[in-house]
Amino acid sequence: MPSTSRTSRIPRARLGLAGALAALLVAAGAVGGPAAQAGEQHRPKTLADLAQRHGRYFGSATDNPELTDTAYTTILGREFDMITPGNGMKWYATEPQQGVFDFSAGDEIVDLARANRQKVRAHTLVWHSQLPGWLTSREWTADELRAVLKNHIQTEVRHYRGKVYAWDVVNEAFNEDGTYRETVFYKTLGPGYIADSLRWAHEADPRAKLYLNDYNVEAVGPKSDAYYALAKELKAQGVPLHGFGLQAHLALQYGYPTTLEENLRRFSRLGLDTALTEVDVRMLLPATEEKLAQQADWYRDLTKACLAVRRCVGVTLWDYTDKYSWIPAFFPGQGAALPWDEQLTPKPAYHAIRKALK
Ligand code: XIL
């Protein structure tokens, strides 16, 4: 679990001057006792507050274009204690030309998170998708690509050193059947690109928690088995791997991954942290009361699964509102995947998460 600076966080936005003074005195131990405790009980707790009582975080992804929406950023800043940039730290955004780096999008989100005293899960360094054209439009020798990959990883990780809690170092490395995905990195460098990437990232920021991250790995099965075997091997070789991220892009029509808790537990036993990193629960539209109720049950169950496994460090939603979900654009006819609706009103799923965290 991250040592959270927000454990005793005083939510400044909700306090007037008198309130801020009182809170300071309470924090300093100057006042307290039953009255202060009663006040505490009546304060509506955020998902982050509730998760912190279990030594977990509760996070959301966000993206730069949304940050002009102040109704949106108010909830983002209040309800969560972990933030992931949805796109701003990806390769196409950070190295649009070879050797020319642009961290402005990621920086904007890191700065906002810092202002809200939130931590950052950084995403992602090595992925086959959203690569810049200069990288995908030509052939590379192994030596060339190794140098390009090392420079990308180390320049970006160094830039965010000390500012991020964790990195998704390699994203989506396996196929559904547990074979390696034939990415440009795998095809050119072989499977060793994963250990190399972890070592390079560790050199550049020895304190960041380094993760492998993927989708459809929530249940025990061929794909999560491949990660389990790889993680075991990497640990045995002393490669700096600290966590396994399960994206958890779930869909009502495909059924709930009932072995999630068992799966989290086996990675814990390897000495790894686990996290649910990109949670959403999509459905075939239109959303009905029944589907929203089932969705709420799934959010409850996945939250409880994380709480049940000691080294599951937290849950991140892939943005918190249907207003900014990636689902409708990528899965036509599907949506309504998040705990807040398009009007930023909490849905049954939101209340189910709160209940699970109580
Ligand atoms: C998605 C973003 O949310 C979209 O805005 C973008 O167009 C495509 O990528 N798995 C991941 C994330 O690891 O980076 C993806 O994010 C969603 C699937």
Helices (H), 163-287: 184-189, 193-204, 222-236, 260-269
- 27 and 56 assigned to the same domain: no
Instruction: Give residue 44's pLDDT.
Output: 72
- 39 and 56 assigned to the same domain: no
Q: Say yes or no: CB of residue 91 within 6 Å of ligand 1.
A: no
CATH of residue 140's domain is 3.20.20.80
Domain stops at, among 12, 27, 43:
43
Atom 4 in ligand 1: residue holding the nearest Cα? 326
- 188 and 285 assigned to the same domain: yes
- 188 and 212 assigned to the same domain: yes
- 165 and 127 assigned to the same domain: yes
Pocket test for ligand 1, best of 326, 334, 338 (most atoms within 8 A of CB): 326
Closest CA to 77 of 114, 41, 25, 104: 114
- 240 and 173 assigned to the same domain: yes
State percent of the chain over pLDDT 90. Answer: 88
- 327 and 214 assigned to the same domain: yes
How many domains does one find in the chain? 2
Exposure string over 154-167, b if 16+ CB within 10 A, otherwise e: bebbebbeebbbbb
Atom of ligand 1 nearest to the CA of 319: 3
Q: Tens digit of pLDDT for each residue in 312-321?
A: 999 999 999 9
- 37 and 157 assigned to the same domain: no
Closest CA to 337 of 345, 347, 67: 347
Atom 13 in ligand 1: residue holding the nearest Cα? 171
Q: Which residue has the tokens 């030596």?
A: 143
- 255 and 130 assigned to the same domain: yes
Q: Say yes or no: CB of residue 87 within 6 Å of ligand 1.
A: yes
Domain enclosing residue 4, as ranges? 1-43
The catalytic position among 79, 95, 172, 218 is 172
Instruction: Give residue 179's pLDDT.
Output: 99
What pTM value is reported for the model?
A: 0.90
Instruction: Give residue 38's pLDDT.
Output: 45
**Does the annotation mark 172 as catalytic?**
yes
Instruction: Give residue 34's pLDDT.
Output: 41
Pick out the chain residues at pLDDT < 50.
Answer: 1-39
- 19 and 136 assigned to the same domain: no
- 153 and 254 assigned to the same domain: yes
- 59 and 14 assigned to the same domain: no
Instruction: Give residue 43's pLDDT.
Output: 60
Q: Tens digit of pLDDT for each residue in 105-133?
A: 999 999 999 999 999 999 999 999 999 99
